[in-house]
Chain A
Amino acid sequence: MALPEVKQTATDARLAALSLPTGGCLEGARRAALSRVQTLGLPGRRDEYWKYTQPDTLTQVEAPKAAVFDTDEAPMFDDFDRLKVVFVDGVFSPEESDDLSLDGVSIERIADICDKDIHWAKDLYGVLEARGQSPVARPLAALNTAFAQDGLAIHVTGTPSKPINMIYRHSDEGSDAILHHVIRVDSGAEATILENGPAASRFNKCMEIDIADTGKLHLVRAQGRDHERRAATHLFARLGSESEFKSFTLTVNGVLTRNEAVIELTGDDAVAHIAGACAGDGDFHHDDTVFVTHDAVNCESRQVFKKVLRNGATGVFQGKILVKEGAQKTDGYQISQSLLLDDDSQFLAKPELEIYADDVACSHGSTSGAIDEDALFYLRSRGVPAAEATDLLTLAFLAEAVDEIEDEEIASAIVTRLEGWLARRR
Chain B
Amino acid sequence: MAALDQTQVKEGVDQETVDAVAEVSTYKYGWETDIEMEYAPKGVNPDIVRLISEKNEEPEWMTEWRLSAFERWEKMDEPDWAMVSYPEIDFQDQYYYARPKSMEVKPKSLDEVDPKLLATYEKLGIPLKEQMILAGVEGAENAPAEGRKVAVDAVFDSVSVGTTFQKELEEAGVIFCSISEAIKNHPELVKKYLGSVVPVSDNFYATLNSAVFSDGSFVYVPPGVRCPMELSTYFRINAENTGQFERTLIIADKGSYVSYLEGCTAPQRDVAQLHAAVVEIIIEEDAEVKYSTVQNWFPGDENGKGGIYNFVTKRADCRGDRAKVMWTQVETGSAVTWKYPSCILRGEESQGEFYSIAIANNMQQADTGTKMVHLGKNTKSRIVSKGISAGKAQNTYRGLVSMHPKAKNSRNYTQCDSLLIGDKCGAHTVPYIEVKNNSSRVEHEATTSKVDDDQLFYCRQRGMDEEEAVALVVNGFCKDVLQALPMEFAMEAQQLVAISLEGSVG
Contact = CB atoms under 8 A, between A and B. Distances in A.
Contact of A343 (B421, B427, B429, B437): B437
A355 B428 contact: yes
A360 B418 CA distance: 11
A353 B446 contact: yes
A363 B447 contact: yes
B432 A350 contact: yes
A362 B448 contact: yes
A391 interface: no
Interface residues of A, number: 35
* Chain A contact residues: helix, strand, loop or mixed: strand
B351 interface: no
Contacts of A359: 1, 423, 450
Given A352-B428, A367-B444, A340 B435 contact: yes
A368 B81 CA distance: 26
Interface in A319-346: 325-326, 328, 338, 340-343, 345-346
A362 B426 CA distance: 13
B444 A354 contact: no
Nearest to A354: B428
Given A343-B437, A352-B429, A353-B448, A369 B442 contact: yes
B441 A367 contact: yes
A358 B422 contact: yes
Given A325-B423, A326-B423, A352 B430 contact: yes
Contacts of B432: 348-350
B265 interface: no
Given A369-B438, A369-B442, A358 B433 contact: no
Nearest to A341: B438
A299 B429 CA distance: 20
Contact of B431 (A48, A343, A366, A370): A366
A358 B444 contact: no
B436 interface: yes
Interface in A358-405: 358-370
Contacts, number: 119
B116 interface: no
Contact of A355 (B421, B435, B443, B448): B448
B405 A347 contact: no
Contacts of B448: 353, 355, 360-363
A357 interface: yes
B7 interface: no
Contacts of B450: 358-360
A180 to B, nearest CB: 32
Contact of A353 (B403, B427, B440): B427
A351 interface: yes
23 contacts: A340-B435, A340-B438, A341-B438, A343-B405, A343-B439, A345-B438, A346-B437, A349-B431, A349-B434, A351-B429, A351-B431, A354-B429, A355-B427, A358-B421, A358-B450, A360-B448, A363-B445, A363-B448, A366-B431, A366-B442, A368-B435, A369-B440, A369-B441
Nearest to B418: A355
Given A358-B422, A362-B448, A365-B444, A353 B438 contact: no
Contacts of B439: 343, 370
